[in-house]
Structure 1
């Protein structure tokens, strides 16, 4: 038997995600009573109990959890079909939810938002900037920009470019404390450390033959904020290992200088990540295409850093 009303599936998905009839109702503009009645109708039609109910919250039964996965895919396919109808006029609509690392998002994703919205004025966009790795399925994000290794095999990841890094300091600091000529020389210097969680990682380098050098640097300043670290470098406090996308303008202007040119710091990949779906929503596809256009292959900060 087919579900009689597709909106019942929408209500079901919202209720399952929120764990509360009242919250689902607020999201959709219904009362909790209407949500409860519509879900009861859905259960009666399917002849199966989808929720375990208590006075304060609801939870999916095993059958409800299985049905939820199917509903999410069905609604995604319907959203894709709706987007395909509007492709000819290039007028996407709906909400696109994006999450990205805080500093990279502020410097390089946020400037793209006016471009995207000017091309698609009926599109709404929410940009979440945080260095915490959010669960894009659980937290209902359409797409994420991430730097580093992927841990969730359920997601699709496409590499955009390489997150190359440089050891940098100011000329004033180098005049006072000397220039390092090898990774081991960094042990004599005050290292300014970025630490988003736990202990700071050792600095890793490769020479031209591919030999790996691992240096357990130390210093008197650690932070989880890129802006604070950049200010510490410019204040002549010490040496730091920074991504080019963060400090390329400082290199261009001479406010910072790159050190250890014979050694290449360990690099990471910058990726765009999205849910593993059979059909990718057109709004996500358009956003990914914009990222590829701006960051693909050799991004602009690599050109401007003189490489």
Structure 2
């Protein structure tokens, strides 16, 4: 391997093609012509003396050498970007492509509204957002930051708290007119409770202590957005984040149900990173904006 022949442009093509699945998709992400992407990857492989990818007309797949090189490619680009930011900070704010992921509900309700302001303040910034309720492997997919709610499963990742996710019990006026409103925690046993698929319990705070309450209902949904829609449609009670439900409570589509002896447990909102290295400016400005927006949501709900 000739280190002098490793072009960072080729490394960027390789990394983007690995995460996007094709050279054409990598070219679109980078804003270059597909032919230029192909040439840069070929030059990188020539400099390394190995084949990193198997190509077809529509997709690419990593060779064994490509799999081994992938984490080093990510490290090289991160180091180069961090170095540029230190020695030549941009007067126009953060720059580069920010890849982030979050569940659909917080993505639409919280993240999307702040993205436009973030882009206005940072003209060189671009955002690629993956909204999914499926847990994403942020290391292998090249994601810069993931927004996650609740307990974190992977202790190998780096995380910082962004704030508290306050949750409330809700139902539609139509459901409450038919079935009445529960007054105490034990009353939930007589109600249809809408929850994500596989959820058997809701967590409540009772007298300063946490209590898991078994729930049942005729509707379960694979996404939080689906739970919300079913609740608005009158299918039962649901525990929803305040930022998810507040607008519909204000419009009368939903009603907050307050129990005399308990309240839904709040959850922590986290920013999760794939590395312990210093945050790049593009990640830092987003995380700061998220923390500020969540604080505003908390004050609005108070």
TM, length-normalised to structure 1: 0.79
The answer for the alignment partner of 1:249 in structure 2 is: 247
Q: For residue 39 of structure 2, what is the aligned residue in structure 1?
A: 34
Alpha-carbon distance in structure 1 between the residues aligned to 2:19 and 2:174: 54
Structure 1: stretches of 5+ with no match in the other structure: none
Within the candidate set 189, 197, 204, 1:187 is matched to 189
For structure 2, the 5+ residue unaligned runs are none
Q: Structure 1 residues 236 and 13 mapped into 2: Cα distance closer, same or farther (>3 Å)? A: closer
- Between 1:253-262 and 1:7-16, the stretch displaced more is 7-16
Deviates most, 101-110 or 20-29: 20-29
8 A contact 2:201–2:212 mirrored in 1: no
Q: Is the 8 A contact 1:99 1:141 kept in 2?
A: yes
Aligned length in residues? 294
CA distance in 2 between counterparts of 1:291 and 1:37 reads 40
- 1:215-254 matches, within 5 Å, as 215=214, 217-252=215-250
Check 1:97–1:67 CA distance in 2 against 1; reply closer, same or farther (3 A cut).
closer
Matching of residue 300 in structure 1 with residue 296 in structure 2: yes
Counterpart in the other structure of 1:271: 270
* Mapped contact 2:163–2:268 kept (Cα < 8 A): yes
| 1:204–1:121 distance in 2 versus 1, CA, 3 Å | same
User: Residue 89 of structure 1 aligns to a residue in which SS?
Assistant: coil
Looking at structure 1, the residues matched to 52 and 90 of structure 2 have their Cα atoms a distance apart, in angstroms, of 41
Partner of 2:146: 144
Q: SS at the partner of 1:3?
A: helix
Aligned Cα root-mean-square deviation (Å): 3.3
Structure 1 partner of 2:93: 91
Q: Alpha-carbon deviation of 1:106?
A: 0.7
- For the residue of structure 1 that corresponds to 2:209, the secondary structure is coil
1:154 CA drift (Å): 3.4
Instruction: Report the equivalent of 1:166.
Output: 168
Determine the C-alpha separation between the residues in 1 that align with 2:135 and 2:296: 26
Comparing 171-180 and 137-146, the one that deviates more: 171-180
Give 3-state SS (helix, strand or coil) of 2:5's partner. Answer: coil
77, 80, 104: which one aligns with 2:79: 77
Q: By how many angstroms is 1:286 displaced?
A: 1.1
Greater C-alpha Rg = 1
Q: Distance in 2 between matches of 1:188 and 1:132?
A: 31
Output the CA distance in 1 between the equivalents of 2:162 and 2:5: 43
